[in-house]
Structure formats: C-alpha cells, structure tokens
Structure 1
Amino acid sequence: MKRGPLKSPVSKGSKRPKLHGDYDQYFSLNTTYYKNPITCERANEFNNGKRKKPIDFLNGYIATQGKSDDSKTIIHWFRGDLRTHDNTGLFEAIKQFRERKDNISGQLLTIFTINEHDWRAHMDSGWKLKFMMNAVSSLGEKLSKMSIPLHVLHYNPESPSLSNSNHFASWLKEECLNLAKGSGPVLLTANAQYETDELYRDIKMFEQSDSSFKFKVFHDACVIEPKLLTTGKGTQYTVFTPWYKKWAVEATSRMQNSKTFIRELSKDPVKDEEIDFKPLQYELPSEFLSYIPEGAPELPEASEDAAFQVLSDFSSQRAHAYDKKDYLPDEGSSHLSCYITSGLISARYIVSEAAKLTNGALAAKDIKKNSPVQEFIREVAWRDFYKHAFCNWPFLSMDLPYSFELNEMKWSDDQEAFKKWCEGETGVPIVDAIMRKLLCTGFISNRARMITASFLCKNLLLDYRWGERWFRKHLIDFDLASNVGGWGFCSSTGIDAQPYFRILNMELQSKKFDPEGRYIRKWVPELKDCKDVHTFNLERNGYQSAIVDYKKSRERALATYRQIL
C-alpha cells in the first residue's frame, strides 16, 4: 500500500464501474434494524426535556467513574481511535497499568470488535471498511512492539443485533472476562463516539458493571468535547460562527496551558515480554466489497506513520494554498479525512501542528481575514461542531431534519432520476464527472460534494436522505456527523443550513472550479473532444441532454420550499 491520497485510475472510455443494483436501500431506513423509526413528536421530547439525551446519560456515568485500583486486567477497546499516539483512553489504561505495584501479575490487553450488523445498518462504505481493517492490522503490529496484544473479537449472533443491544453488551463483558483468564476484576476503557447508536451502546456497557467488571469512557474524538461550548443561556449553539469563535479561544487556551492537550506515550514496552503479531484471521465479506470496481486505485497506507506523513506533506506543500482547495483538477485538500475518520490521527494533533504555521493563532481576530492555514483549522472545527450537534439533537443521526417541518417536504419520487445521479448520467457534465469519480475512487472533495448535493436536492428535488445514504455507502472517509451535517447544509434542512433560495448554478460552478474542463474531460471521456463542457443545456454528440432544465428546476424547488417555510 502507498501513502497519501487516492490517485485516480486512468479513465477508459465508456467503461463503467460495476454497480450493486440494489437501489431500494437508499430510499428508506433498514427496517431489519430499525423497526420503529423515530417520529418528529418523539424526537421533540429530546428538545423539551421529556426524554433524556444519551450524551447526558453517558456524561453522568463518566462523572462518577473513579480509579479502578483493584483491576487485575486492564483492556482498551479500540473503536474509532485506531492509533497509539494521543489516544486518551489508551493513555489512561497504560498509565493505570504502569502505576500498579504488582503489574507483574496483571494484564494489559486491547480489543477490536467486529459486528457486521452495525456495518449493514449504518451502510458503511466498503472503501472505508477495507481501509479500517488495514488500519487494525497496522495497529496490531505497532502494539506488539509495545508488548500489548490486540484481540479481534467477532460478534456473530444468530439473529440480527446491533452493538447497542443488551445481547452485545453481555457478550462483550463475557469475552473480556474470558480474556482475563480469572486474573481478578477487569477494567475496560474506551473513547466516546457520539452517534446515537454508539452512545446507547456505551450506556448498555456501563449497565454491565459489577464487582468483576468496570467500564470507563473518555472524551477524545473532538478537540473540544461536546456540551462544553454554550451560549449565554447555557444552550447549544445553532449557528457555527459564534460557536467557532468560542472553540478557537478554548482550544488556544488548552494548547497553551494544558500539558495533556497532546498525550505522548512512552515508546518503551509495557512489559518485558515479546508479543508475536499474527495477521488478522478475518476477511471482509464480498457484500461489502462487490461494488468497488476492478482496477480501482490502491488504498492509501492505513497506518499512523502514513497519517503523520500526509499531515507533514500537506503542512509543507499545500497548507498555505488551502484557499485554492476547491479547484477540482488539483484537489488541494489535506487528504487527511480518511485518517481522521478511522482515528489514525487525532484532531488535536492536527490542530496543534497547523498552529505552528500561524504562530499559535487558530483564527484571526476578524475571522473573515483568516489565513489559508486558519481556514484549514476552521474546517477541523466544523467536524467538532457537527459532533456537538449530534449530541444535543440525537435525532439528527436518526434520519430526521433539524427543522421538523421540513420532514413534510414534498420531495420528488423520481427514482430513475436518482439512479442517473448516482451513476453520473444526468447530462450535466460537472455533476456526472464528480459522481463517476466517486464510483471509481471512493473519494471526492468537499466542493464536489456540495455541487452534487445541491443538484440532487434543489434541481432534482430528491430527498436529501437518499443522497446522504449513497455518500455513506461510497466514501472512504465517511463520517456520519459530517455527512449528515453537509447534506443538511446543502438541502437547507440541517443545522445552520444555507438559505433555501440558495441554489448552486451548475454552469457557474463548473466554470469556476474546473475552468479548463480538465476534470470533466477526464471523468466524462465522451466529452474529451468537446469544446464547451460547461453550458447546462447544450446538445453534445455522444452525450445525453440534461435530465432537467436549470431554470424550471430552480423555480420548482423555490416553490416547493416556500410551501413549507
């Protein structure tokens, strides 16, 4: 495997990636796992206080977790934190193990759990799963050099069951006790994940605590943990800009004053014994990989060292030109997203390294005058913002819009138009180029995501959730909070969304971000000899006409949104 971003495969004429063909999965929730989808009425109970938010349950448990001095076996549970560097839960597990006076008789272990039902329910991308499992292998090898074994545990129930079930919680507790081999009480540590299913999973694990088993969770995924940055009334911000200003102040203070902002582990082995690393005895089932095309680009190297190298290359080569990141042919983004999503590098470390390029200033006093590097830091802050929003409005990860009235939107039910969007066959060159690149590589830039999302929701007037599910199924860097947040923004249904009347002009977007048409001609080879690849409604030989008229589709979208808003 190689380091760095995915390189694009050579486009070969009319050759198309193999498609899975099952489009029904994008049109509604998977009722195998979500038999009773939450309603707006029930979701509003989170808002009016009638129903306690899962993050509040979790924080209640965290507030009461003390030191587990009597634990003979300490286990860290890796989830979305597949790294040893700046890993809060792992750091605390190792610290407690080393502080034990009788650690000769104790054990320090790590685990990673596989539940294919979670992947099916959450529609995790095959690209992402393949990258993640490569990361688990890399992690196991690195841990073995620290004399820490990694056990991969496969949850395989007789009937479909998610990890937020009582059955999973009792299974995992039993597995941990079995790994302890009777050597006293077990302490299991983990870092919090903020999706609703995952929060309820951890709550279930806390409920398993007894004299033989203790569970500890730490905030780690965000630079600033959720629930900390609030308005003067003590509520969660609904607008990014004032929240971001507070975020920058708090993050700067922590960087300057906290010795534990970045947690560095000693490279010395934790015990004087050698651990032989054994390759994983698990292969991803074909159902998760069948739609990845033959001849797809090699995945980036999934390791901590690779993540550090990608950050270093970006910092030294492209960070100061980050204001040009939206130029589609060059893709000047950091390409760190898949490493952040799988937890191979911490957001704190990225921010602290970027701050070295700005003399420690995470944001300008007037944020409109942010430097390119400060704009990059701002993009990292957006990730925190969406995770904070998930915690405060749990229904955002349950397929409901932020504004409940928009759940009554009269979206089009044109499934054929959706298929054409998915396959890059809309007759709009910039849209088709982006969607074909996604199918071939598993990655498109943020600007590309905004262009195609706007076209789906505003010009085709299709339910944003259809597109959100397609992205999660096909992106190597899929992160639920960021994906839902981005689609909510573009469709004007989410938190701090763009106004409903803002409808991107595909022709202008094409001319601005692919002015020479290089990106379009690469991914839509039918147009390689076409002089004008930008004009929306234009007959081109060998290429179909646009499936919608830009002006008419814009007017239809405005009229439909006005009926609700």
Structure 2
Amino acid sequence: MTKKQKMHSLASFRSEKYPEEIDTKRAAEIYKKDENKPFNILLQKDEETRTKRDAVKPRKAVAHWLVRDFRLKDNFGLSRAYGKSSEHNLPLVCFWVNCPEQREAHGDSPFKHYYRMLSLQKLQEKLEKLNISIVTIDAPKRKDIVPLVLKFLKKYDIAHLYSNLEYEVDELRIAIKLLEESVEQDIAFYPCHDLCIVQPGELKTKSLGTQYAVFTPWYRAWVAYVNDMRSQKKTLVYPTPQKVENLIDLDEKAYFPEGDVDKKRFHKYHKLIGEEGADEALKQYIMSTKIKYYDETRDSLDDDTVSHLSVHISSGTISTRTILEELFAANKLSKANKAEAPGIAEWVRQVSWRDFYKHIMCNWPYICMHKPFHLELSHIEWEYDRHIFLSWCEGKTGFPIVDACMRSLNEIGYMNNRGRLIVASFFAKDLLIDWRNGERYFMLRLIDGDFASNNGGWGFAASTGVDPQPYFRIFNPYTQSERFDPEGNFIRKWVPELKDVKGKQIHDPYLHPDSSAVAEQNNYPKPIVDHKKCRERALERYKAAMAEGKELLKEI
C-alpha cells in the first residue's frame, strides 16, 4: 500500500481541534451500518425519549438555542418555542453559544463570523420589540457546551428547549448528548429539522429504499416532494413569532464578539446584512431580469449575474423554504419544475443542491472525518510543495484565470461557482495537492462557507465526491478562461499586471511574444506547472489509487 506523505512542508488540512483522520477500512466498515451514523442515532434517541419529554411540565420559561438560524421568519425551532410559550403564557428566551474552539475547529472565516455577529445584533433588536430576551452563553471548549446550556436552563427553571439542527457530525453528537442528559434532568429538548426544504432521510430510491447518491434522480424526487406539498396547499414556511406578554429577568446579557476582521473591506463588498438584508437581496433578484437568464449566465466570471444569497442562506438569515414561497408568490414558479423562465428553474435546481449535500453528509458521515465520499480514492499519491501551495493561495500561479479567482476570494470572501470549480480542479489535478487543503483554505476565506456545500464542490472538482463523472475529467484552465471570461475583463480587474494585454492573449500571456513582454515587465509569474504534463500525471496517480482502493475495500 502506498504510504501517505508527511505534510511537513505544507500546512495541514486538519484543525488541531479535530482527531486524526479516520482509517479508510474502518470508515467503510462502521458507516456502512445505519445504526452507527450520528444522524440515525439522533433520530433513534429522539424517538426513544419522546414520551418522557412530552410528559415534562412547563415551568418558568421556554428557550430557543440559535445556531445557524439568525432570523424571525420561517424559523422552525423558534416558531415551535414561541408556540409553547404562548400556549402556557410563559416568557421566551433565546440564547446563542459563543464557542471559540468550535469556530476554530470549523475554520470559520473572519468575514463569516462578523456577518453572523452583525446579523445577531439586528435580530436582537427585533426580538426585544417582541419582549423576547436574547443572551450569550460562553463555552470556551466544545466539551463545555452541553453542561453550560443545561446549567443555564436549570438556573432559570426552564423546562423546554428548542433548537434547529446542524447536520455536521460534531453538531449532531452535541445534540445527541443534550438529548440524553437533558431528559435525565427533567428538561425536554426538541431538536428541529430546519436547514433543508426536505428533511434528510425523507427521499429514498424506489428500488432499494436507500439514500440517493446521484443528484439527478434525487432532484426528481425532491421536485415531486415539493409539488406534493403545494398540491395539498401546504405552506412551506412556519409561523413567525409575535409579541410575548411575559418577560424573564436574566443575569446574563447578549454580546457579539466581532473578532479580528477588516471591517472597512467587509463593508465595501457586503452591504446587505441580516434578515432584512437577505429579504432585500431576494426581492431584488426575483424582480430582476438576471434570474430569467440564470441558466445562460450563471457561469460567467466577467458579468455578475448571480443572486449572492449564499451568504444569507449559509448563516440562516433566510431559509430556502422562504425563497421558494416568494417565487410562488411572485408567480415566477407554479411548480418547482415549472418556472416562468428556464433561468428560474435552473436557479431553483441550484438551490436544491444545498439539500442534496446535507442529505449526503447525514448518510455518509465520514466526509466530516477528512475522508472522500469515494473511499477508494483515499490514498492518492499527492504532491506536497509549500511554495506551490502558497502560489495558489495568493493568486500567483501564472495561470491568469486561477489567479484572478483566488485574488477575488482573498479580497471579497466570495467567488462564484464556476470560479470555485476552476481553481479547485487546478489545485487537485494540475498541482496534485491533497484537495482537503484547498477545501479548508476556502472555509478560512469564504463569507458563505458551508461545510456540506464546500465539501461537495471540492469533491466534484477533485473527482472524489458524489458525482458519476470519473476521475479523468480535468478542467483545462486556459479553455475555461476563454469560455467564461471571453474578453478577459475579470482577469484584468483582479490581475492588474495584465491589464494592458490585448485581446485573447490574456488567457495565456506567456504563449505570445507581445503579451509575454507585458507580463514579464509587470512581474507577472510564469506558469508554475505545465498543464499537459500535469494532466497525464494526475491520470496516472488517480488510476493507481483507484485500483489500490478497490482492492483495499473489496471485502467490505
């Protein structure tokens, strides 16, 4: 078996807050069984404890734990908490947990954290007008979260807690622990499925009754599910909390640490913040012509035609259910697969990918443990070169489209999907650096960083993820540049060293004498690798790893 290279010359994709990468055979053996999957364990615990939890009598107040749901509208957990407090005429209190270790472990970018803190500030103003208190619970370590939450609830004699679920393995295990320990202390904790339009586990293949592993048939089932909801005249969104009559006196206060962030740069590029900002972004996009032609323009790098709702979705300042409802209300969508224009249908399809990747994460949890979806590609012989890695990070590879994309990411904290695919394919296939390093770098920079979607995108680009396309799909950065930035405007914006290069020579400046002179004069780097040779190298390495991996796993 090929030995894995030591990463002494390259920063690890792992956070020190995580355990070592799980063994490949062990991942296959353990998580092949449904009873070992954290999501299934949670569902089982939820079922086992329901009778006991339902028997818990309300006491002094009801609580809602804000996790990735910084909004009032269409917030399932908050809506249920409000319903409980109204039924028993009790105060309602919200809290969020400030856990620096958890943020560090997940690689939350400064921009993403700052956006969430600003959103919480805005939410606090709305909650206080409804007489709903919000406080901060400090938990320095992840192991402190459950004990401190229970301590808070017991201090104020709160018997009912609601929280929307996050589906990453760590978060599921926290929810499981809270379910187990709270019920023993006569506290009813209700984890709610809010992140997805369709709850994980709801869509099964007709042949085997198992989770879909391919997007297209999954999407057909997703569309049918939504259409069925509409045909039954069921709204997708949950009731918004109204004013609460009773207040609770709390010692704790709310505060929202902003962290080390370049505020001037943040506000230069990100104007719409919080729930109101998300609503405005959606309204603007639905009423624009951009959405009608989304199918034709979504991959364009030199023309901004996308919605930029990803930042709001990933931090929960808007729900994807609300997005669909607003499309229906505006008569842009009659059914999820029948739209006013092809672009709208394609946009809905792209929104649904978020559900798909979370469904995948729940059923194949080892992707949260540094493993690829295709376990047989766990041991590709990667290259490790710190200089080349940093060249990619800084946008100094000598491939103009790659460099433009990376520089825009570093400046704005955002990159459109086509750009992400281009730079990720280049990273994993041309540079042949372990894709998990790129995956983590994205999370450290993206304002819209979402583990499931980011992992899914990197899996697609690196051919290790949920995708029927084989490993020999390798993007050519030059042809991608010509196709998606045909005039070179995007490159000229982000790579000023090449702004004076004429015409299409900008896509490969060192191929032509005159553009080469401009590039050299402005100290633009020459290509750090030869794409053609790297393509052949990648094919050889992937082919060998695939054969080795299949041999390793064939008895499991």
Amino acid at match of 1:347: T
* Separation of aligned partners in 1, 2:272 and 2:9: 33
Partner of 1:246: 221
* Separation of aligned partners in 1, 2:483 and 2:249: 55
Q: Which residues in structure 2 correspond to 1:339-358 (within 5 Å)?
A: 339-355=312-328, 356-358=330-332
Q: 1:275/1:375 Cα in 2 relative to 1: closer, same or farther (>3 Å)?
A: farther
Q: 1:384/1:112 Cα in 2 relative to 1: closer, same or farther (>3 Å)?
A: same
Amino acid at match of 1:257: Q
Q: Secondary structure at the match of 2:73?
A: coil
Amino acid at match of 1:322: Y
Q: Secondary structure at the match of 1:533?
A: helix
* Separation of aligned partners in 2, 1:237 and 1:91: 30
Alignment partner of 2:305 out of 304, 325, 332: 332
Aligned residues of 1:252 and 1:360 also touching (Cα < 8 A)? no
Alignment partner of 1:411 out of 382, 397, 402: 382
Partner of 2:536: 555
Alignment partner of 1:237 out of 212, 216, 228: 212
Q: Secondary structure at the match of 1:329?
A: coil
Q: 1:233/1:294 Cα in 2 relative to 1: closer, same or farther (>3 Å)?
A: closer
Query: Which digits, 9 at most, give the CA deviation of each residue in 1:483-519, with x for residues without a partner?
Result: 0000001100011253211111111111111111111
Deviation, structure 1 residue 69: 5.9
TM-score by length of 2: 0.88
Partner of 1:506: 477
* Separation of aligned partners in 2, 1:383 and 1:269: 33
Aligned residues of 1:387 and 1:481 also touching (Cα < 8 A)? yes
Alignment partner of 2:231 out of 245, 251, 256: 256
Query: Which digits, 9 at most, give the CA deviation of each residue in 1:460-501, with x for residues without a partner?
Result: 111110100000000000000000000001100011253211
Alignment partner of 2:68 out of 80, 83, 86: 80
Aligned residues of 2:135 and 2:255 also touching (Cα < 8 A)? no
Q: How many residues align?
A: 520
* Separation of aligned partners in 1, 2:491 and 2:230: 43
Deviation, structure 1 residue 331: 2.0
Aligned residues of 1:74 and 1:93 also touching (Cα < 8 A)? yes
* Separation of aligned partners in 2, 1:62 and 1:206: 7
Deviation, structure 1 residue 283: 2.6
Alignment partner of 2:292 out of 320, 326, 344: 320
* Separation of aligned partners in 1, 2:177 and 2:507: 53
* Separation of aligned partners in 2, 1:404 and 1:239: 16
Aligned residues of 1:506 and 1:536 also touching (Cα < 8 A)? no
Q: 1:293/1:468 Cα in 2 relative to 1: closer, same or farther (>3 Å)?
A: farther
Query: Which digits, 9 at most, give the CA deviation of each residue in 1:196-223, with x for residues without a partner?
Result: 1100010010111234422111111000
* Separation of aligned partners in 2, 1:428 and 1:511: 12
Deviation, structure 1 residue 536: 6.6
**Are 1:127 and 2:111 matched, yes or no?**
yes
* Separation of aligned partners in 2, 1:199 and 1:503: 35
Alignment partner of 2:12 out of 19, 24, 27: 27
Deviation, structure 1 residue 312: 0.7
Q: 1:50/1:383 Cα in 2 relative to 1: closer, same or farther (>3 Å)?
A: closer
Partner of 1:70: 57
Q: Between Structure 1 and Structure 2, which shows a larger proportion of helix residues?
A: 2
Greater CA drift, 40-49 or 147-156: 40-49
**Are 1:155 and 2:128 matched, yes or no?**
no
Alignment gaps of 5+ in structure 2: 1-7, 547-556
Aligned residues of 2:314 and 2:450 also touching (Cα < 8 A)? yes
Aligned residues of 2:13 and 2:440 also touching (Cα < 8 A)? no
Aligned residues of 1:26 and 1:470 also touching (Cα < 8 A)? no
Alignment partner of 1:301 out of 272, 275, 283: 272
Q: 1:423/1:362 Cα in 2 relative to 1: closer, same or farther (>3 Å)?
A: same
Deviation, structure 1 residue 36: 3.8
Partner of 1:110: 94
Q: 1:241/1:282 Cα in 2 relative to 1: closer, same or farther (>3 Å)?
A: closer
Deviation, structure 1 residue 170: 1.4
* Separation of aligned partners in 2, 1:483 and 1:551: 27
Aligned residues of 2:460 and 2:466 also touching (Cα < 8 A)? yes
Q: 1:363/1:259 Cα in 2 relative to 1: closer, same or farther (>3 Å)?
A: closer
Greater CA drift, 410-419 or 482-491: 410-419
Q: 1:294/1:388 Cα in 2 relative to 1: closer, same or farther (>3 Å)?
A: closer
TM-score by length of 1: 0.87
Aligned residues of 2:395 and 2:407 also touching (Cα < 8 A)? yes
Alignment partner of 2:198 out of 208, 218, 224: 224
* Separation of aligned partners in 2, 1:234 and 1:457: 34
Amino acid at match of 2:292: H
Deviation, structure 1 residue 155: 1.1
Deviation, structure 1 residue 273: 6.3
* Separation of aligned partners in 1, 2:441 and 2:43: 33
Partner of 1:90: 78
Deviation, structure 1 residue 67: 3.6
Deviation, structure 1 residue 297: 2.2
Amino acid at match of 2:450: D
Aligned residues of 1:148 and 1:275 also touching (Cα < 8 A)? no
Q: Secondary structure at the match of 1:177?
A: helix
Amino acid at match of 1:70: K
Deviation, structure 1 residue 71: 1.5
* Separation of aligned partners in 2, 1:171 and 1:333: 41
Query: Which digits, 9 at most, give the CA deviation of each residue in 1:62-97, with x for residues without a partner?
Result: 334354661222100000111110111111111111
Q: Which residues in structure 2 correspond to 1:195-234 (within 5 Å)?
A: 195-209=168-182, 210-231=184-205, 232-234=207-209
Identity of aligned residues (%): 37
* Separation of aligned partners in 2, 1:58 and 1:259: 27
Q: 1:127/1:295 Cα in 2 relative to 1: closer, same or farther (>3 Å)?
A: closer
Q: Secondary structure at the match of 1:360?
A: strand
Aligned residues of 1:186 and 1:213 also touching (Cα < 8 A)? yes
Aligned residues of 1:26 and 1:469 also touching (Cα < 8 A)? no
Alignment partner of 1:445 out of 416, 433, 439: 416
* Separation of aligned partners in 1, 2:9 and 2:231: 51
Q: Secondary structure at the match of 2:136?
A: strand
Partner of 2:549: none
Deviation, structure 1 residue 296: 6.9
Q: Secondary structure at the match of 1:92?
A: helix
* Separation of aligned partners in 2, 1:45 and 1:172: 34
* Separation of aligned partners in 1, 2:56 and 2:256: 35
Q: Secondary structure at the match of 2:506?
A: coil
Q: Which residues in structure 2 correspond to 1:479-490 (within 5 Å)?
A: 479-490=450-461
Deviation, structure 1 residue 388: 0.3
Aligned residues of 1:255 and 1:352 also touching (Cα < 8 A)? no
Aligned-pair Cα RMSD in Å: 2.5
Deviation, structure 1 residue 122: 0.9
* Separation of aligned partners in 1, 2:208 and 2:114: 44
Q: Which residues in structure 2 correspond to 1:400-479 (within 5 Å)?
A: 400-479=371-450
Alignment gaps of 5+ in structure 1: 1-22
* Separation of aligned partners in 2, 1:90 and 1:349: 15
